Amino acid sequence: MGYSTRGTSSMEPTEREVPAVWRGIGFLMVFITPAMGYAVAKLVVDANKVQRWVPIPPDLVAPGKNPDLYVIIGVTVVFSLLVYLLLSLFSFFLLSIFSPSRYGPQDVPPTSYRGKRYKR
C-alpha cells in the first residue's frame, strides 16, 4: 500500500442531500403559497366591492365572465409574495433559535485584519 492510496476513501467529500421530507414540504409550498394568495385575494376583492376601500380603474376590468380577473391576478401575486416573505422570516427565526452557535468555546475569536494600506 503506497502513500498515494492511503486514506483516499475517507478523504473524499461526502455529498449532503436534502431529506425527502423537506423536499416534499417545498413541493407542497409551491402549490400552497399561490393557493393561499388566491383565496385571500378573492376575499379582499369581494370585500372591496362592498366596502369600496380602493376604487378599481376601468382599465383593469376584464371583458367576459369575471370582470375582476386582472385585479384578482395582481392581488394574488402580491399576497403570494407576502406569504412567502412571512414563511421565510419564520424559518429564519427558527433557524437562528435552534441552530448551534457559529463559534464554539475552544475557537479563537476572528481577527479584524484589514490588509496593508496602499501607498503610491
pLDDT reading at 31 higher than 90:
no
Report the pLDDT value the prediction gives residue 8, as an integer from 0 to 100. Answer: 53
The structural domain count of the chain equals 1
List, in order, residues 6 or more apart from 98 with CB less than 8 Å away. none
Report the pLDDT value the prediction gives residue 41, as an integer from 0 to 100. Answer: 93
Range of the structural domain that residue 38 is part of? 34-95
Condensed to tens digits (0 to 9), the pLDDT of residues 44-96 reads: 999 999 998 988 888 888 888 989 999 999 999 999 999 888 888 888 888 88
Residue 12 inside a domain? The answer is no
pLDDT reading at 2 higher than 60:
no
Place of cell 452557535: 101
Ranges of beta strands (E only) in the chain are none
Does the pTM surpass 0.75? The reply is no
Q: Which of 37, 28, 27 is nearest to 84 (CA)?
A: 37
d(CA 16, CA 9): 16
pLDDT reading at 102 higher than 70:
yes
Residue 25 inside a domain? The answer is no
